[in-house]
Chains A and B, each alone.
Chain A
């Protein structure tokens, strides 16, 4: 369960204040696949970054289950991100000196799992996203779609309750995009993982349980929960 309360984020660009978020409140239920849409500059990515503890809010708070994440110390936030949140970036964000398998098991290694466990687990997740033959390839040896699948596998390796994805298909062709969306849908369906995804592709709509729309840092449409027919 994610609870966002009166979240504000003001950036300073030179001497000019930019209000990226202006008091956003939101609840995301356990197991919900939430789409976040809006025009460029509406605050979608800022909201996702704040939920993912990658930024610092100007005001308001983010509760994940019962934890007020911005009351944690920097080290506690790191541990929280490692164990509870998986993040998929638009531009894959893989470590170039690590193979696909190593990129995936790095968070598991950091979480303290044994060598055999994290290798086996990472291999299994990569297999699940269709990369069983590409385990020992470096990111530069993989296509964009493959890299994004590695990024998804990495986000899943510690079995986090929450998966955050910031336009994960933005740099992919339609076929790869569809594959990636299918993977997210499968994960959501099979493991009941809460997913919050920034997207402005209309064809993504059927994948989401609910869509919220932001404009100028405010939620203008909190969205209704779709039933199967609406999708």
Chain B
């Protein structure tokens, strides 16, 4: 066996060494491009998913989200709950949110959205919305008569630029009317407009907690959700279990739990697209290699016959072609890897701009290894078949160059 491998490698290496250089380089470049193509789409999808995850944690749910029990609308006695959660090891800060339906009116334009109240000092500890101010400033404790709008709520003067119904281009300093679902109506000055590029978050409206208590007419001890930021590096599931063990009866979910159902379907759809793209890439690789090896083997039909005539086993002849293919594949994947790394550097500097954020493709090494293995297996098969077809030919027919 070892002997066969030695001869196989010897023949393959001499063929690579002394065969046509231009053809060899072309084959390597084709494999490199196929490899890069196989990586690019999954990396963009992974990048988009990571962006979505980041946006969810940074602006929407923080690390852990506590929501009302199954049949309740609100979390009761939220101050006690906050005090309890803030004492749990691994918790950095908890922030309560209370949402009430409202209709915002500005120059005849109306938008109906939940108006969410929070303690600004707590909120800046659990989300990064305060870092994404498009204009104006974030809310502060004690602000009265001021409101914070998401970019999609504020909208544009040119309606065609809006994705959803908007207030038609409200600016910081403008006054808007808010009619709350409990019948209270108030005028607010727009203090700031934030733009996170998350569709959900940018269609939100925020008020300080005290302002909401004014609307309700009494001290508010209810919350619609509590966002919990954990200390850096802690295991979210461990903190979740600790919260539950502290007797919190509300629903406690890590951000991954929240997203699991929500994005699974999208990821599955992305994966289908990805697999189709990968299949097409593989088919291209297989066809290219099949054609290359067929042409090469047909061209060398006579030499294959000679090799067999002098006593070189058919398996060695086939193996030498497969070895050449694997060599081309190896160099192709190395070149493809270099191209993908260059692309990664480029996309880190110039991310792909999408409406919901800037996507930096994420090249995952597991995907890279899977693709490499797939490419090698497919290429080996694509090289084996034509080599086998020619090598199994009758020796004399091969030497005479007859098909």
Interface residues of A (CB under 8 A from B): 49, 52, 54-55, 74-75, 78-83, 85, 87, 89, 93-98, 102, 106-107, 109-112, 138, 154-155, 158
Given A74-B314, A95-B307: A55 and B14 interface contact (C-beta under 8 Å): no
Q: Which partner residue on chain A sits nearest B17 by CB separation?
A: A97
- B311 and A78 form a contact (CB under 8 A): yes
Q: Which partner residue on chain A sits nearest B4 by CB separation?
A: A110
Q: A78 vs B14: C-alpha distance in the bound complex, in angstroms?
A: 22
Contacts of A78 in B (CB 8 A): 308, 311-314
Q: Which partner residue on chain A sits nearest B6 by CB separation?
A: A109
Q: A96 vs B19: C-alpha distance in the bound complex, in angstroms?
A: 9
Given A81-B309, A96-B303, A102-B14: A110 and B3 interface contact (C-beta under 8 Å): yes
- A97 and B310 form a contact (CB under 8 A): no
Contacts of B313 in A (CB 8 A): 75, 78-79, 110
Q: A95 vs B7: C-alpha distance in the bound complex, in angstroms?
A: 14
Q: B395 at interface (Cβ–Cβ under 8 A)? A: yes
Q: Which partner residue on chain B sits nearest A157 by CB separation?
A: B310
Q: Which of the residues B3, B19, B309, B314 comes within 8 Å of A93, measured between beta carbons?
A: B309
B223-259 interface mask toward A, CB cutoff 8 Å, 1 = contact, 0 = none? 0000000000000000000000000000000000000
Given A81-B310, A97-B18: A110 and B316 interface contact (C-beta under 8 Å): yes
Q: A78 vs B307: C-alpha distance in the bound complex, in angstroms?
A: 10
Contacts of B14 in A (CB 8 A): 97-98, 102
Q: Which of the residues A83, A93, A96 comes within 8 Å of B311, measured between beta carbons?
A: A83
Q: A106 vs B7: C-alpha distance in the bound complex, in angstroms?
A: 8
Residues of chain B at interface, number, CB under 8 A: 26
What is the predominant secondary structure among interface residues of chain B facing chain A? Answer: helix
Q: Which of B374-403 contact A (CB under 8 A)?
A: 394-396, 399
Contacts of A89 in B (CB 8 A): 306, 309, 399
Q: Which partner residue on chain B sits nearest A96 by CB separation?
A: B303
Residue of B15, B307, B309 with most chain A CB atoms under a 10 A cut-off:
B309
Q: Which partner residue on chain A sits nearest B8 by CB separation?
A: A110
- A93 and B399 form a contact (CB under 8 A): yes
- B7 and A110 form a contact (CB under 8 A): yes
Question: Can you list 8 residue pairs at the A/B interface with Cβ under 8 Å?
Answer: A54-B396, A81-B309, A82-B311, A83-B311, A97-B15, A106-B10, A106-B11, A109-B7
Q: A31 vs B11: C-alpha distance in the bound complex, in angstroms?
A: 34
CB distance from B242 to the nearest CB of A (A): 67
- A106 and B310 form a contact (CB under 8 A): yes
Contacts of B302 in A (CB 8 A): 93
Q: Which of the residues B6, B11, B17, B309 comes within 8 Å of A54, measured between beta carbons?
A: B309
Q: Which of B1-53 contact A (CB under 8 A)?
A: 3, 6-7, 10-11, 14-15, 17-19
Contacts of B395 in A (CB 8 A): 54-55
CB distance from B81 to the nearest CB of A (A): 79
Q: A106 vs B9: C-alpha distance in the bound complex, in angstroms?
A: 12
Contacts of B309 in A (CB 8 A): 52, 54, 81, 87, 89, 93
Contacts of A138 in B (CB 8 A): 18
- A55 and B396 form a contact (CB under 8 A): yes
Given A54-B395, A110-B3: A79 and B18 interface contact (C-beta under 8 Å): no
Contacts of B19 in A (CB 8 A): 97
Contacts of A79 in B (CB 8 A): 311, 313
- By Cβ-Cβ distance, the 9 closest A-B pairs, closest first, are A82-B311, A81-B311, A97-B18, A93-B306, A78-B313, A112-B3, A54-B395, A110-B7, A97-B14
Q: A97 vs B399: C-alpha distance in the bound complex, in angstroms?
A: 16
Q: A186 vs B264: C-alpha distance in the bound complex, in angstroms?
A: 81
Contacts of B311 in A (CB 8 A): 78-83, 85, 107, 110-111, 158
Q: A166 vs B147: C-alpha distance in the bound complex, in angstroms?
A: 100
Contacts of A158 in B (CB 8 A): 311
Q: Which partner residue on chain B sits nearest A86 by CB separation?
A: B310
Q: A87 vs B314: C-alpha distance in the bound complex, in angstroms?
A: 18
Contacts of A74 in B (CB 8 A): 314
CB distance from B312 to the nearest CB of A (A): 5
Q: A78 vs B315: C-alpha distance in the bound complex, in angstroms?
A: 11
Contacts of B316 in A (CB 8 A): 110
- A95 and B308 form a contact (CB under 8 A): no
Contacts of A97 in B (CB 8 A): 14-15, 17-19
Contacts of B11 in A (CB 8 A): 106
Q: Which of the residues B308, B310, B396 comes within 8 Å of A49, measured between beta carbons?
A: B396
Q: Which partner residue on chain B sits nearest A107 by CB separation?
A: B310
Q: A160 vs B313: C-alpha distance in the bound complex, in angstroms?
A: 17
Q: A85 vs B395: C-alpha distance in the bound complex, in angstroms?
A: 15
Contacts of B6 in A (CB 8 A): 109
Q: Which partner residue on chain B sits nearest A94 by CB separation?
A: B306
CB distance from A215 to the nearest CB of B (A): 22
- A82 and B310 form a contact (CB under 8 A): yes
Q: Which of B276-328 contact A (CB under 8 A)?
A: 302-303, 306-314, 316
